[in-house]
Amino acid sequence: MSLIVQKFGGSSVANAERVFNVADIITKAYSQDNDIVVVVSAQGDTTDDLIAKAKEINGDASKREMDMLLTAGEQISASLLAMAIEKMGYPVVSLLGWQAGFHTSSAYGSARIKRVVPDRIKKELDKKNIVIVTGFQGLNRYNDMTTLGRGGSDTSAVAIAAVMNADLCQIFTDVEGVFTADPRKVKNARKLDVISYDEMLELASLGAQVLNNRSVEMAKKYGIELEVLSSMTRKPGTIVKEAKKMEKMLISGIARDDDVARVSIIGVPDKPGLAFRIFSKLSAKNINVDLILQSVGRNGTKDISFTISQANLKDTIEILNPYVELIGATNVVYDDKVAKVSIVGAGMETHPGIAAQMFEALYEADINIQMIATSEIKISVLIKRDDADKAVSAIHNKFFSETEPINP
């Protein structure tokens, strides 16, 4: 007998038919003599709809009241799913986050899980019940309900798997797993059988929206293997696990991020300390800088360019404009029609020449590179947003052409 944690995202339980589809998946696993704990998200767009409802009443509602509202979404899906399982003749109980023992920090809207005390879950499993738990929520030290931030149900599932030492943690969603590129855009994108935590974290933060970042961090910390799979097709999905335990892929995937803007400070005097002063101004306002490029000094001045998220553009320009004069730079310019395209692969570390191959693909597609950044398992380039589709396809073809093996 195994303990299996199964998490179902909002699209998997969006309507009655899908609720019964999920109930079928759950009861099949239960019938194979397993203990089953299910974590469920709110149905379909429920969370967005609730936020819209709140705005109709009060655009400035307190975070506490927002959490009071949003936790209701998961309460609905959990109870409906339990009713479907009841109807199919299986023993089941649904629990809210606090009943399932989720203790969180007090930060409404972005609470952190502090600990999970799964006594009630264990008691229900001993009674042979299938246990359904509302994702995305817990209780803080004021006995108020909190939510974990958008997409937080993945983290709820991983937390239960970690604290109960589950044998398997399955994250059911509406895609068949993690792909080498966005399958809606790149027609020969392939599903990966396995990917490491670190690669998954890079891909998630680069905009491959399959798993919530915090859930992957937590899975990595506690060594929980995850399987990402589709509740619709029920085919084997992608396993996310420690890189040590797998044959490292040269390149696992290509991600694209449109939420970037490039800012350049032109004519910065070429002397020590200015980069420090500029970037500390931004960090003091919590503005996160991503790629950075400094030109070689010429005639006593240099240019400093960097990227930020679109939402920070206005603030950044407002902060820098008066400052530019103060430090004796010429002016600030920006470009918000750019995109960041990145390749991620744990095998990069030991294989030179990956960057050259990526740049060759871009050159062959006649795409100009504005900025470059590299880490051990990632290479990112900044390009014109209009070129991004073409860039992803060209790079994908370079690394995943039909003839070349994916695992050299």
Place of tokens 């943690």: 169
- Write out the binding residues for ligand ASP, residues 286-315 only, by CB under 6 A: none
Taking CB within 5 to 8 Å according to partner kind, which of Mg ion, ligand ASP, none is near residue 152?
ligand ASP
344-378 burial: b if 16+ Cβ within 10 Å, else e: bbbbbeeeeebeebbbebbeebebeebbebeeebb
End-to-end Cα separation, the chain, in angstroms: 38
Q: Give the CB-nearest residue to ligand ASP.
A: 153
Residue nearer to Mg ion on the CB measure, 18 or 248 = 18
Query: Binding of ligand ASP at residue 10 (CB under 6 A)?
Result: yes
Report the C-alpha gap between 181 and 191 in whole angstroms. Answer: 9
* Binding segment (CB under 6 A) for ligand ASP, from list 144-152, 226-234, 291-299, 304-312: 144-152
* Binding segment (CB under 6 A) for ligand ASP, from list 103-111, 118-126, 151-159, 282-290: 151-159
Which of 6, 11, 12, 41 touches ligand ASP by CB under 6 A? Answer: 41
Taking CB within 5 to 8 Å according to partner kind, which of ligand ASP, Mg ion, none is near residue 73?
ligand ASP
Query: Binding of ligand ASP at residue 150 (CB under 6 A)?
Result: yes
* Binding segment (CB under 6 A) for ligand ASP, from list 145-153, 197-205, 296-304, 387-395: 145-153
Which of 21, 94, 153, 231 touches ligand ASP by CB under 6 A? Answer: 153
Query: Binding of ligand ASP at residue 73 (CB under 6 A)?
Result: yes
Place of tokens 């992957």: 216
Report the C-alpha gap between 188 and 183 in whole angstroms. Answer: 7
Query: Binding of ligand ASP at residue 42 (CB under 6 A)?
Result: yes
* Binding segment (CB under 6 A) for ligand ASP, from list 121-129, 148-156, 196-204, 397-405: 148-156
User: Minimal CA–CA distance to 178: which of 198, 149, 208, 140?
Assistant: 208
We find the least distance from the C-beta atom of residue 18 to ligand ASP, in angstroms, to be 14
Task: Let me know: does 260 contact 229? Beta carbons within 8 Å.
Answer: no
- What number of CA atoms fall less than 13 Å from residue 339's CA on the CB side? 19
We find the least distance from the C-beta atom of residue 47 to Mg ion, in angstroms, to be 5
Collapse the DSSP code of 258 into the 3-class scheme (helix H, G, I; strand E, B; otherwise coil) and give the result.
coil
Query: Binding of ligand ASP at residue 136 (CB under 6 A)?
Result: yes
Residue nearer to ligand ASP on the CB measure, 136 or 399 = 136
Report the C-alpha gap between 390 and 43 in whole angstroms. Answer: 35
Query: Binding of ligand ASP at residue 104 (CB under 6 A)?
Result: no
160-169 burial: b if 16+ Cβ within 10 Å, else e: bbbbbebebb
Place of tokens 């400093």: 304
Query: Interface with ligand ASP by CB under 6 A: which residues?
Result: 10, 41-42, 47, 73, 135-136, 150-153
